[in-house]
């Protein structure tokens, strides 16, 4: 992309440089902008059109309880993969850095002087050490978080336990009529277009090629703000046992939960986001939901995917703005999918997301107790 291709958007030079640096795709942007202008984007166009059913009970394979022979067998298989250098970790640390007062969430202190990122790295390294191996860590950043997290990655990187970063893509917010959204200063409004960038950004950055060259066969992916999603060899083992290309952790639903869930779409098991279900579908018929923690085969994602661009409404400076985003869970519509049922809370809990400061205060004690048991604190 060159500045000339953006002249008609009347962008400042600094904005053009930002877009070029983070892989702005003008052709896709124009296509999505056209859809919006023609009224072809919105809640109804986001919904699935096929036959949607709850997963069959046997399609959610729950982890055996800790201490059981079956759990140990899975853990042994996963630990062997870690020892053989076949497992890497990807931590999603992108987004727009808005929920903690403009501070990059990954650097926010959680407990005992340790940040979200500190604790993620500590638990991955602890799990790898127990398995007798090392797990390289790759942090997916956004244009809003890249500078700070790339600096921290360099500081944390060691030969024995590599830490590197790669960046997702960038796009521009729109008004509902398809014109460019501009803020109170008259500037356009960039945003990070969702964690569905994962496979594309891994390839564009060269990260995926390097991992495969090093012999890495599986990636364990989790959000930086879900500290309960630790690297558990049993989860890796459950993925390997399934023989599927991608596994998703699914936890029991609680009252008020919103988000994606495993479902059968035209008989294909996959993760479906909440806003995609048909209006008449009873989402409560599915007892588990997507925690956004995945095990992914590196060979399987080393290609392009025709992921859907979903229109999302945001409020920016009191005005309605439209963003088009991709979701990593939609990879399950293209790859054979395994659903791993996991505990939500307690000793074996794997879902304690922290979206804002009040939630951090509410969950801090539980997070400290959990990570202390798992060797990260």
Question: Mind listing the domains of the chain with CATH numbers?
Answer: 65-243+297-326+355-373 (3.90.550.10)
Sheet holding 52-53, edge to edge: 52-53, 261-265, 268-272
Q: Tens of pLDDT along 185-208?
A: 999 999 999 999 999 999 999 999
* Contact call for residues 336 and 209 (beta carbons, < 8 A): no
Give the pLDDT confidence score for residue 53 in this predicted structure.
97
Q: Which residues, in sequence order, are CB contacts of 364 under 8 Å at separation 6+?
A: 110, 111
Q: Tens of pLDDT along 340-371?
A: 999 998 999 999 999 999 999 999 999 999 99
| pLDDT at residue 290 tops 90 | yes
Specify the residue for token string 């796009």: 171
Report the DSSP beta bridge partners of residue 354.
Answer: none
Specify the residue for token string 């008020």: 256
Q: Tell me the pLDDT of the chain averaged across its residues.
A: 94
DSSP 8-state assignment for residue 55? P
Q: Is 239 exposed, middle or buried (0-12, 13-18, 19+ CB in 10 A)?
A: buried
Q: Tens of pLDDT along 10-61?
A: 898 999 999 999 999 999 999 999 999 999 998 889 999 899 999 999 999 9
Alpha helix stretches (DSSP H) within 47-113: 69-83
Give the pLDDT confidence score for residue 4 in this predicted structure.
53
Rounded Cα–Cα distance for residues 45 and 310 (Å): 8
Give the global pTM.
Answer: 0.94
- For residue 39, give both structure tokens: 């009224």
| pLDDT at residue 1 tops 50 | no
Residue closest to 138 by CA, chosen among 162, 168, 105: 162
Mean pLDDT in residue range 260-283: 96
- For residue 197, give both structure tokens: 């960038």
Percent of the chain exceeding pLDDT 70 equals 98
Mean pLDDT in residue range 122-135: 96
- pLDDT higher at 10 or 225: 225
Q: Is 345 exposed, middle or buried (0-12, 13-18, 19+ CB in 10 A)?
A: middle
Confidence tier at 98 by pLDDT (50, 70, 90): confident
* Contact call for residues 242 and 61 (beta carbons, < 8 A): yes
Give the pLDDT confidence score for residue 3 in this predicted structure.
47
Mean pLDDT in residue range 167-174: 97
Q: Which residues, in sequence order, are CB contacts of 116 under 8 Å at separation 6+?
A: 105, 106, 107, 108, 110, 224, 225, 227, 354
Mean pLDDT in residue range 75-80: 98
Confidence tier at 317 by pLDDT (50, 70, 90): very high
Give the pLDDT confidence score for residue 76 in this predicted structure.
98
Rounded Cα–Cα distance for residues 96 and 114 (Å): 22
Percent of the chain exceeding pLDDT 90 equals 90
Give the pLDDT confidence score for residue 285 in this predicted structure.
93
Would you say the C-alpha torsion 237, 240, 244, 247 has a positive or negative sign? positive
Give the pLDDT confidence score for residue 352 in this predicted structure.
94
DSSP 8-state assignment for residue 285? G
């Amino acid at each position: 992309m060159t500045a000339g291709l953006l002249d008609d958007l009347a962008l400042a030079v600094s904005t053009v440089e930002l877009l070029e640096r983070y892989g702005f795709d003008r052709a896709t942007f124009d296509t999505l902008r056209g859809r919006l202008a023609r009224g072809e984007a919105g809640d109804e166009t986001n919904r699935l059109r096929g036959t949607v059913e709850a997963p069959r009970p046997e399609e959610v394979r729950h982890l055996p309880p800790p201490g059981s022979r079956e759990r140990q067998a899975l853990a042994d298989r996963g630990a062997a993969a870690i020892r053989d250098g076949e497992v890497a970790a990807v931590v999603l640390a992108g987004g727009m850095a808005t929920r903690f007062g403009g501070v990059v969430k990954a650097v926010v202190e959680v407990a005992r002087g340790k940040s979200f990122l500190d604790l993620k790295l500590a638990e991955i390294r602890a799990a790898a050490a127990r398995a007798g191996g090392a797990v390289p860590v790759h942090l997916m950043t956004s244009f809003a978080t890249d500078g700070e997290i790339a600096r921290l990655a360099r500081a944390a990187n060691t030969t024995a336990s590599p830490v590197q970063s790669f960046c997702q893509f960038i796009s521009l917010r729109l008004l509902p009529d398809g014109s460019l959204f501009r803020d109170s200063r008259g500037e356009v409004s960039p945003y990070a277009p969702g964690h569905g960038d994962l496979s594309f950004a891994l390839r564009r950055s060269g990260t995926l090629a390097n991992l495969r060259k090093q012999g890495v066969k599986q990636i364990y992916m989790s959000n930086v703000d879900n500290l309960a999603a630790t690297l558990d060899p049993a989860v890796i083992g459950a993925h390997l046992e399934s023989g599927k290309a991608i596994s998703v952790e699914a936890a029991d639903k609680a009252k008020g939960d919103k988000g994606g869930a495993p479902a059968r779409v035209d008989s294909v098991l996959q993760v479906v986001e909440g806003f995609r279900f048909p209006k008449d579908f009873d989402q409560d018929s599915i007892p588990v939901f997507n925690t956004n923690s995945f095990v992914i085969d590196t060979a399987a994602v080393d290609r392009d995917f025709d992921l859907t661009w979903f229109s999302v409404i945001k409020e920016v400076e009191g005005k309605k703005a439209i963003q088009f985003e991709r979701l990593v869970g939609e990879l399950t519509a293209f790859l054979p999918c395994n659903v791993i049922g996991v505990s939500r809370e307690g000793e074996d809990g794997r879902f304690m997301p922290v979206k804002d400061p009040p939630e951090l205060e509410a969950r801090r004690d539980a997070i400290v107790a959990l990570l202390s048991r798992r060797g990260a604190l």
